């Protein structure tokens, strides 16, 4: 079954930009896709017991201008997810509204990686017998690879 995660793009390069390839531009369609992916991954974390509050914007219009405040929230939402899962923070650090190709790739790859991490957590054979949420287990600082993740 395909999900919004399958539509994430994190292999943009300068050739895409120069050739006019759709991957070489970043517009409202991309912002909406990332917003949907952010909400999707955040909801999976909430359902796993993590206490995070994310409601990413998914109604960008062609006429919208991504202002600094909106872009700060855009990046902060993804950072909240990767921080909850204790994943490496490779997100762009700029606080302005312009995303580079690298920055766009980093944001979408972080969501993809977070979703895959959740998938690995969910394949526990005995997760229902643990009687603890993902967050409670995570707080115990167990080594996921050693104990639970196949």
Residue ranges of the domains in the chain?
4-147
**The pLDDT value given to residue 80:** 96
**The pLDDT value given to residue 36:** 98
* pLDDT beneath 50, residues of the chain: 125-126, 144-150
**The pLDDT value given to residue 5:** 97
* One-character DSSP codes across the chain: ---GGGG------HHHHHHT-GGG---HHHHHHHHHHHHHHHHHHHHTT------------TT----HHHHHHHHHHHHHHHHHTT---------SSPPPHHHHHHHHHHHHHHHHHHHHHHT-TTGGGG-S-HHHHHHTT--HHHHT--
**The pLDDT value given to residue 20:** 87
**The pLDDT value given to residue 78:** 95
């Amino acid at each position: 079954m395909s999900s919004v995660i399958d539509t994430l793009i994190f292999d943009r390069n300068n050739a895409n930009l120069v050739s006019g390839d759709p991957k070489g531009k970043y517009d409202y369609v991309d912002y909406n896709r990332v917003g949907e992916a952010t909400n999707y991954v955040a909801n999976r974390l909430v359902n796993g017991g993590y206490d995070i509050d994310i409601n990413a914007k998914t109604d960008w219009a062609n006429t919208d201008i991504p202002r600094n405040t909106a872009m700060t929230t855009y990046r902060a939402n993804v950072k909240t997810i990767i921080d909850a899962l204790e994943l490496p923070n490779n997100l762009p650090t700029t606080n302005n509204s312009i995303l580079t190709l690298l920055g766009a790739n980093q944001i979408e790859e972080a969501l993809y990686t977070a979703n895959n991490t959740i998938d690995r957590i969910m394949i526990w054979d005995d997760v229902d017998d643990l009687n603890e949420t993902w967050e409670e287990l995570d707080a115990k600082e167990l080594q996921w690879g050693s104990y639970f993740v196949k």
